[in-house]
A and B are shown apart, each in its own frame.
Chain A
Amino acid sequence: MKLPARAAQPNSENLPFFEGAEQGLLVLPRCRECDFIIWFPREICPECGSQDVGWFEASGDGSIYSFTVTRRIPGGWNKVTPFVLAYVELDEGPRVMTNIVECDPEQLSIGDRVQAVFEEATNRDGESGPPLLRFRPTES
Chain B
Amino acid sequence: MSIRGKAFIAGVHEHPERHLPDRTLPQIHADVALGALSDAGLSTSDVDAYYSAGDAPGFGVLSMVDYLGLDCHYINDTETGGSSYLVHAQHAATAIAAGHIDVALITLAGKPRTGGAAPGGSGRVSAAPEAPFESQWGMSVPGGYALAAQRHMHEFGTTSEQLAEVKVAASTHAQHNPNAFLQDVVTVDEVLDSPMISDPLRRLDCCVITDGGGAMVIVSEAVADRLTRHCIPILGTGSFVKSSQSGRIDLTHTGAVRSGPLAFSEAGVTPSDIDYVSVYDSFTITVLITLEDLGFCERGAGGQFIASGALRAPHGELPFNTDGGGLCNNHPANRGGMTKVIEAVRQLRNEAHAEVQVPDCELAVAHGTGGSLATRSASSTMVLGRSL
Report whether B129 and A13 are in contact in the complex, using a CB–CB cutoff of 8 Å.
yes
Report whether A94 and B248 are in contact in the complex, using a CB–CB cutoff of 8 Å.
yes
Report whether B150 and A67 are in contact in the complex, using a CB–CB cutoff of 8 Å.
yes
Residue in contact with B154 in the complex, picked from A66, A71, A85, CB distance below 8 Å: A66
- Residues of chain A lying within 8 A (CB to CB) of residue B188: none
**Chain A CB within 8 A of B130 CB:** yes
- Chain A residues 84-137 with CB under 8 Å of chain B are 85-87, 93-99, 110, 121, 132
Report whether B143 and A73 are in contact in the complex, using a CB–CB cutoff of 8 Å.
yes
- Residues of chain A lying within 8 A (CB to CB) of residue B148: 66
Task: Name the residue of chain A whose CB is nearest to the CB of B134.
Answer: A97
Residue in contact with A68 in the complex, picked from B132, B146, B249, CB distance below 8 Å: B146
Give the docked Cα–Cα distance between A66 and B143 (Å): 11
- Residues of chain A lying within 8 A (CB to CB) of residue B200: 68
- Residues of chain A lying within 8 A (CB to CB) of residue B150: 66-68, 110
Nearest CB on B from A118, distance (A): 12
**Chain A CB within 8 A of B71 CB:** no
**Chain B CB within 8 A of A40 CB:** yes
- Chain A residues 39-80 with CB under 8 Å of chain B are 39-42, 46-47, 65-74, 77, 80
Contact with A along B138-163 (1 / 0, CB 8 A): 11100100111111001000000000
Nearest CB on B from A109, distance (A): 9
Do A46 and B137 contact each other (CB < 8 Å), given the known contacts A70-B143, A71-B199, A110-B154?
no
- Residues of chain B lying within 8 A (CB to CB) of residue A37: 247
- Residues of chain B lying within 8 A (CB to CB) of residue A74: 140
Give the docked Cα–Cα distance between A3 and B136 (Å): 10
Give the docked Cα–Cα distance between A8 and B147 (Å): 23
Report whether B136 and A8 are in contact in the complex, using a CB–CB cutoff of 8 Å.
yes
Task: Name the residue of chain A whose CB is nearest to the CB of B151.
Answer: A66
Give the docked Cα–Cα distance between A122 and B246 (Å): 29
Task: Name the residue of chain B whose CB is nearest to the CB of A121.
Answer: B136
Give the docked Cα–Cα distance between A77 and B248 (Å): 27
Mark the stretch among B78-86, B88-96, B190-198, B356-364 that contacts chain A.
Answer: B190-198
Give the docked Cα–Cα distance between A40 and B246 (Å): 8
**Chain A CB within 8 A of B133 CB:** yes
**Chain B CB within 8 A of A38 CB:** yes
Report whether B244 and A73 are in contact in the complex, using a CB–CB cutoff of 8 Å.
no
Report whether A68 and B147 are in contact in the complex, using a CB–CB cutoff of 8 Å.
yes
Report whether B198 and A96 are in contact in the complex, using a CB–CB cutoff of 8 Å.
no
Report whether A71 and B246 are in contact in the complex, using a CB–CB cutoff of 8 Å.
no
- Residues of chain A lying within 8 A (CB to CB) of residue B248: 93-95
**Chain A CB within 8 A of B251 CB:** yes
Q: Which of B131, B135, B150, B201 gathers the greatest number of chain A CB atoms within 10 Å?
A: B150
Report whether B138 and A85 are in contact in the complex, using a CB–CB cutoff of 8 Å.
yes
Report whether A36 and B198 are in contact in the complex, using a CB–CB cutoff of 8 Å.
no
Give the docked Cα–Cα distance between A11 and B146 (Å): 31
Report whether B247 and A94 are in contact in the complex, using a CB–CB cutoff of 8 Å.
yes
Report whether B249 and A87 are in contact in the complex, using a CB–CB cutoff of 8 Å.
yes
Give the docked Cα–Cα distance between A37 and B248 (Å): 10
Report whether A41 and B133 are in contact in the complex, using a CB–CB cutoff of 8 Å.
yes
Nearest CB on A from B298, distance (A): 22
- Residues of chain B lying within 8 A (CB to CB) of residue A40: 129-130, 132-134, 244, 247
Give the docked Cα–Cα distance between A9 and B151 (Å): 31
Contact with A along B225-256 (1 / 0, CB 8 A): 00000000000000000011011110100000
Do A36 and B246 contact each other (CB < 8 Å), given the known contacts A5-B136, A10-B132, A71-B196?
yes
Chain A to chain B contacts (Cβ below 8 Å), 27 pairs: A4-B136, A8-B133, A8-B136, A11-B132, A13-B129, A37-B247, A39-B133, A40-B244, A66-B154, A68-B150, A68-B198, A68-B199, A71-B195, A72-B197, A72-B198, A73-B143, A73-B198, A77-B138, A85-B138, A87-B251, A93-B247, A95-B248, A96-B133, A97-B137, A97-B139, A99-B138, A132-B136
Residues of A at the B interface (CB closer than 8 Å) are 3-6, 8-11, 13-14, 18, 36-42, 46-47, 65-74, 77, 80, 83, 85-87, 93-99, 110, 121, 132
A70-B140, A77-B140 known; 13 new pairs, CB 8 Å cut-off, are: A37-B247, A39-B247, A68-B146, A70-B138, A71-B198, A85-B198, A87-B251, A94-B247, A95-B249, A96-B247, A97-B133, A97-B139, A97-B375
10 closest A-B pairs by CB:
A39-B247, A8-B132, A68-B146, A94-B247, A66-B151, A77-B138, A40-B133, A46-B246, A70-B198, A69-B199
